[in-house]
Amino acid sequence: MDLMSTSLRISTVSGIGIYIHWTFWLLVAGVLGFFYFEGGLVAASMGLAYVAAIFFCVVLHELGHALTAKRFSVPTRDITLYPIGGMARLERIPEDPAEEFWIAIAGPAVNLAIAVLLVLTLTAVGISVMPVEPLVVGVGFFANLMWLNLALVVFNMLPAFPMDGGRVLRALLAANMNDYARATQIASNVGKGMAILFGVIGLFTFDIILLFIAMFVFFGAQQEAQHAMMRTLTNSVSVKQAMMRRFATLAPDDTLADAVEELLSGSEQDFPVVEDGRVVGILTRSRLMEALQQQPRDTPIAEVARPTCATVEDTAMLREAFDKIREADCSTVPVVRDGKIVGLLTMENVGELMMISSALKRAGNREDMEVMLKRARGQEASGDESRALPASNDPNGTPQDATSDAAPDSRNT
């Protein structure tokens, strides 16, 4: 399910869309219900005011990340509010540890600045900064808001993924070790250790919230380690080594019925639309299902296929292709050479490579990833092709060149 289809856009700041995820309204309903039963309508209004104020601070926190990232030429796709906080989705993770450090620390710095501003303002007008009962209506609201911002600073600076402190720790380690993957693994292990500690304390104290935080931190740390593995892998493997070389294509004048036949006869979900060897569009499975509900089965593919969202040269590194997949929000990217399609790259490809890399790592790196891929592609370790793919016939019965780098099962060439 598309993230944006489950979120409501509420604003745009500096070209960055700000959304509220549907689950956020569950928090609003829960807070309103709790405060209403505790003190009636006035208390419920106070609870709503606290939720609005603290999440306004969360938005400022995420904008701190996003606008700092923008200074380092790292675009932010959007900011989404969830019941547990906010998330700014950056287009990419900065390569420079110093850039990641400043982007990560910018969010907590915003909350600290808010807290300092509130302290100075309250002190200047002679109001106590000591926290008060949340149900009490009055100026204590701003004192409580100050303490909530300080709590956000402390929580976010815990040295555990996915909090900002975990990224700060990773940036500092990477700057000193000059090894991004190793730095991520250490920071991830620290996060998992903290999660286990939170979980044990939560079990003994019967603290459900602490148990939830423990699960959140543990899986966040695990996910970050996987992302680091992907980053290391995609920096060292070329698109040519990772792409699918046997795939089906469709012609612009093929029909929806032809597409259904291809979908059912193979394992592919997305089909490039090819004319004279050049990609002119792509038909995704979701678009095919949608078209089948609205169009006759003899509708030409050209009328329903979407334009190609991105292509990548086979000489590019996998990292470049992966960035294009994410930026264009595509599940499949055609691989081209001199403008003509020679392969396909999918998120499934990347996932399989990660599993293979992980398996080799657990096996003690007995075989280098690059050497293994070259062997799988029928190439010698030097990079020269030594074996050819099996020849396949085109629709006219003419054998394709057996030394071709790709052997697409094409309906139109």
Q: Are residues 327 and 292 in the same domain?
A: yes
Q: Are residues 123 and 246 in the same domain?
A: no
DSSP-derived pairing of the beta strands 271-275 and 248-249: unpaired
Q: What is the CATH number of the domain that holds 397?
A: 3.10.580.10
Tell which of 182, 215, 236 closes a domain.
Answer: 236
DSSP-derived pairing of the beta strands 248-249 and 409-410: parallel
Q: Are residues 255 and 139 in the same domain?
A: no
What does the alpha-carbon distance between residue 123 and residue 329 come to, in Å, rounded to a whole number? 49
* Domain region containing 338: 239-410
Distance of CA 100 to the CA centre of its chain: 16
What does the alpha-carbon distance between residue 222 and residue 192 come to, in Å, rounded to a whole number? 8
| Per-residue pLDDT tens listing for the chain (413 residues) | 444 457 788 888 888 888 888 888 887 888 788 777 877 787 788 888 888 888 899 899 999 999 999 888 888 888 888 877 778 888 777 778 889 899 999 999 999 999 999 999 989 988 888 877 766 656 678 888 899 999 989 988 988 877 888 889 888 988 888 777 788 888 888 888 888 888 898 888 888 878 877 887 788 777 777 666 666 666 667 777 777 777 888 888 888 888 888 888 877 778 888 888 788 888 878 888 888 888 888 888 888 887 776 777 877 777 777 766 666 666 778 888 888 888 877 777 666 766 776 666 666 554 555 555 555 555 443 443 333 333 333 433 333 333 334 333 433 33
Q: Are residues 372 and 390 in the same domain?
A: yes
Q: Are residues 35 and 122 in the same domain?
A: yes
> What is the predicted pLDDT for the residue at 362?
60
Report the number of distinct structural domains present in the chain. Answer: 2
> What is the predicted pLDDT for the residue at 392?
36
Predicted TM-score (pTM) above 0.85: no
Tell which of 202, 220, 236 closes a domain.
Answer: 236
What does the alpha-carbon distance between residue 245 and residue 307 come to, in Å, rounded to a whole number? 22
Q: Are residues 263 and 331 in the same domain?
A: yes
> What is the predicted pLDDT for the residue at 357?
66
Q: Are residues 131 and 246 in the same domain?
A: no
Please give the order of strands across the beta sheet that includes 7-13.
Answer: 7-13, 16-21, 76-82, 85-90
> What is the predicted pLDDT for the residue at 410?
38
Q: Are residues 116 and 264 in the same domain?
A: no
Q: Are residues 217 and 269 in the same domain?
A: no
* Nearest one of 310, 298, 374 to 347, comparing CA atoms: 310
> What is the predicted pLDDT for the residue at 107?
92
Question: Tokens at residue 61, please?
Answer: 């926190």
* Nearest one of 196, 167, 194 to 183, comparing CA atoms: 167
Q: Are residues 297 and 393 in the same domain?
A: yes
Q: Are residues 260 and 224 in the same domain?
A: no
> What is the predicted pLDDT for the residue at 255?
86
Tell which of 180, 203, 236 closes a domain.
Answer: 236
Q: Are residues 246 and 229 in the same domain?
A: no
> What is the predicted pLDDT for the residue at 370?
55
